[in-house]
Structures are given as C-alpha cells and as structure tokens.
Structure 1
C-alpha cells in the first residue's frame, strides 16, 4: 500500500525531470547546429544557403527531423559588420516524443569573412 502511494508521487516527478532533460538536449543540440551553420556560412566564398544546408545536416544526424519546422539562413548586419544568421524553428512534444508540442526558435550568428 505504501509503495503505491509513494509511486504515485515519485513516478510523475521522475518522468517530468526526464522530459525537461529531453527538451534541454534537443534545444541545445539545435542551438549548436545553428551556430555551427552560421560559422560555416561566414567563411569566405560561402553563402547563407551553405550554412542552411550545413545546419540541416548537423540536426538530421542527431535530432528527429520531424521536430524541426524550418531552417532559415540570411545575410545580416552584426554591429556594423556583414554577418550571417541561421534561425531554426522547432517544436518539442510535452509528453515524451508525443502529445501537444511547445514551439521554440533558436538563432546562430557569425561575422562574415572578407577578402581584405
């Protein structure tokens, strides 16, 4: 009897902690991929499309593709310097990998190399 009562408290708490850990893992992985994609696109003679493709490649190797809604890359201005921004929009289901989802967006930035 005591085991049932304690389990009703401990199991949901444990599953909630696992869900938060899974969300943080996915968000941090997508953030790192966006940052790496921006740095990749910032190299001389590369375009934002190269960074977008690199970001998709990095994400697809680690995170399920159905969690990522879009990957966009564009040229931008970073403190007066030409740069690249990669934005990833994704969602994370609230119950494991199923159920209603929480949308989030992360961005990576890098200053573009110039030929000077």
Structure 2
C-alpha cells in the first residue's frame, strides 16, 4: 500500500527516521534489493530512484528558459512599438506632403523629423516621399520609412529592418 494512502488510515503510525533505508530492503535470503544504493525506500517499502541535487539543476534550467522567454516577449513588444510609431509618423509625413503647394519630397524629411522626436536615438531613419497616381488617376503622396531596430534584449543578429509606408490624397487646386 503506498505510503501516501497508508498514513491516513486509522492506526497508522508516522514514519520514524530509522524506517528509511538507503540500501534498499533485503529479502529473506539476505540479498539486497536490485535498486540498491541508487534508490531509497520510503516507509511503505517502495523503492524510488535517488534524485538528490536535481532540484538545483532544474531551477537553473527552468529559470534560464523563463528569462529568455520573457526577454523575447519584451523584445517583440519593443519592435512592434517602433513599427507602430514609424507607421504613424510616415502617415503624418504623407498628410503633410499632401497639402496644396507642398512638394511630395518634403513628406520624407517631415516624417524623419517626427521619428527623431518620437523615438529617441532613431535619427538613422531613411524616409522618402513621392507623388504617384492612385486608382482612377487620383494623385497620392506616398512616404516610405525604413529603420533598423537593434535586438538589444535578445542579441540575435544585427537587428530587424522595419519598413512602413504612409499614403495620403494630394490636394489639387
């Protein structure tokens, strides 16, 4: 009967220190159990393998895995934040360049200035603005911005290149 169940039965006594054997139980012939020194015997007489010291190794391995997982999730969040900010700034640059009497190329420099203000340290953004024809020959302004986002928390490579595009209808007289 397993020791876990046995201790709840009426009349069962609690295990004593001399009830636990490290060499395993012996049979009537006097030989040692095959589990031998590699296993321990619980109060119910069941042999289980020795696992002393494995808790430390398990803690280190699981802790390292969780740390890498958490840092990876934070890194993905940072890259998505940069992407969303770039998309908003590129769209704002396109809206600026879509105004009457503003050349389309100014949308890129305006978006670059917005990116430098909203993302500190991201002055290396490459933004271009150009005018193009949309469906039905509607004049559009397109601003494209590209930035390399470094992977600072999980150092896997040089970084991720993020490219976003913003569009706006060009005002016509």
TM-score range, shorter chain: 0.7 to 0.9
Query: Which has the bigger relative contact order, CA under 8 A and spacing at least 6?
Result: 1
Partner Cα distance (2:98, 2:61) in 1: 57
**Does structure 1 retain, via aligned residues, the 8 Å contact 2:75–2:154?**
no
- In the TM superposition, what is the alpha-carbon distance from 1:105 to its structure 2 partner? 1.3
Q: Which has the higher strand share?
A: 1
Gaps of 5+ in 1: none
Deviation per CA, 1:12-45: give whole Å up to 9, x if none: 0000001000000001101110011001110111
Aligned to 1:71: 127
Aligned to 2:66: 10
TM-score normalised by structure 1 residue count? 0.87
Aligned residues: 114
SS of residue in 1 equivalent to 2:102: coil
Q: Which has the higher helix share?
A: 1
1:57–1:28 distance in 2 versus 1, CA, 3 Å:
same
TM-score normalised by structure 2 residue count? 0.60
Gaps of 5+ in 2: 1-55
1:50–1:16 distance in 2 versus 1, CA, 3 Å:
same
User: For the aligned residues, what is the CA RMSD?
Assistant: 1.9
